Amino acid sequence: MRAFVVEKYKQPLVLRDVPEPVVGDRDVLVRVEAASLNQLDEKIRNGEFAQILPYELPLILGNDLAGTVIRVGRLVRRFQPGDRVFARPDDSRIGTFAERIAVAEADLALVPTSISMVEAGSLPLVALTAWQALVERGGVGPGQKVLIHAGAGGVGSIAIQLAAHLGATVATTVSAANAAFVRELGADVVIDYRAQDFAEELSGYDLVLDSLGGENLERSLRVLKRGGRAIGISGPPDPAFAAARGMNPLLRLAITALSLRIRRQAKKLGVTYEFLFMRADGAQLGEIAALIDQGVLRPVVAQTYPFTRLPEALAGLAGGGGRGKTVIRLAD
C-alpha cells in the first residue's frame, strides 16, 4: 500500500510502498478516507519530539483518520466491516497518512451520522485535546471564565464551542479578520492579539488553554484568579507528564528543568501550570460524536488536498495562524 513516511528528521515526507498493517486480535483494519494535518505532525517530522516520542525511522506519519472498517480482529466486538469510524490512534501506533491502518478497538468511535468523512477526519486530535483540557482536567462549568488562545485554529475552534456548551464565559485571542467567526462559535470576549494586550484586558479567569507557549503562556498566568489553572498543549512538558510516560530518571530530570521557570511563576501567582499531551480515547470520541449529531459542535474544515499533495499541505501548515483544519482526501 502507499504511505507518506519520514525517512530522516527535518526532511520532506516521501511517498513509498510499505507493507500492509498487522492486525492484532483487538485491532480494526481501516481503509483511510480522510486524514487531517496537525502541528504535531510537523513537529514529529522535524524531530522536535524525538526524545519524548522515540519513533523508529522510517515512520508513517499522521495522527487523525476517518474511514471504513475492512476487517476486525477475532476479539473485537464493537465494530464490523463496513462501519464508518474515526480515531486518533495511540501515539505509539500513528500512521494515518496511508491507505490503510490497524487501530486498537479502544481508540475508535463511529463517525457522527450528520457529517462527511472529510469533516470527521478533521476532528479526533483537536476534539480530544479540547475535551481532555476542558472536561477531564478543567472541570469547566457554568459561571466559570475560560480563555482560549488562537481561537480560530483547529483546537481553538472546537474548544470555544465546547466551553460555551459547558456554560462558561469564553474569551479568545484571534486576528481582527477572525473576530466574527469566533463569535459565531460562541466566544463572548474577543481580543485582537495584534492591537490589544489580553493580559491587560482580562482578569479573574478560571482556566487558560494555551497553544502557543513561550511568552504568551507566561503572560497568560496573569489573567488567572488565585487557584486558576493554565493548561499548555505546546509545552513545556512538566514532571507529571514525564512520570506518566515512564521516562528514565535522566529524562525526567531534563523535563523537570524545562518547565521549572513557568511552574515557579505560576506558584508565585497562586495558580498552576500543567502540560497536556492528549491521548487516544474512543469512548470520549463517542461522546464528542453525540454532541456533533446534536448540533452542539461543528467541525471547521478550512481546505482539503488530494493524497498526492500531502507534503505541500503539510508545508503550508508550518506557518500556523489559519482557520480550522486542513484535511487530506484519500477517497471522494
DSSP line for 177-203: GGHHHHHHHT-SEEEETTT--HHHH--
Report whether pLDDT(157) > 90. Answer: yes
For residue 55, pLDDT over 80 is answered with yes
Instruction: Enumerate the CATH 3.90.180.10 domain ranges in the chain, comma separated.
Output: 2-123+299-329
Q: What is the pLDDT of residue 264?
A: 97
Residue/partner pairs of 75-78 with CB below 8 Å, 24 or more apart: 75/25, 75/26, 76/25, 76/26, 76/27, 76/28, 76/105, 77/105, 78/105, 78/108
Q: Residue 321's pLDDT is what?
A: 60
User: Average pLDDT in the 309-318 region?
Assistant: 89
Compute the average pLDDT of residues 68-77: 98
Which cell numbers hold the place of 207?
482556566
| CATH code that applies to domain 125-275 | 3.40.50.720
- pLDDT grade, residue 320 (50/70/90)? low
Are 53 and 40 spatial neighbours (Cβ–Cβ below 8 Å)?
no
Instruction: Check residue 51 and give its pLDDT.
Output: 79
- What are the tens digits of pLDDT across the range 187-241? 999 999 999 999 999 999 999 999 999 999 999 999 999 999 999 999 899 999 9
Q: What is the pLDDT of residues 262-301, one digit of tens each?
A: 999 999 999 999 999 999 999 999 999 999 999 999 999 9
CB-CB contact of 108 with 289 (8 Å)? no
pLDDT at 225: 98
Look at residue 322 and tell me whether its pLDDT is greater than 80: no
pLDDT at 83: 98
Fold (CATH) for 2-123+299-329: Quinone Oxidoreductase; Chain A, domain 1 (3.90.180)
Cβ atoms 44, 61 nearer than 8 A: yes
Quote the pLDDT of residue 60.
Answer: 98
Residue located via cell numbers 490512534: 89
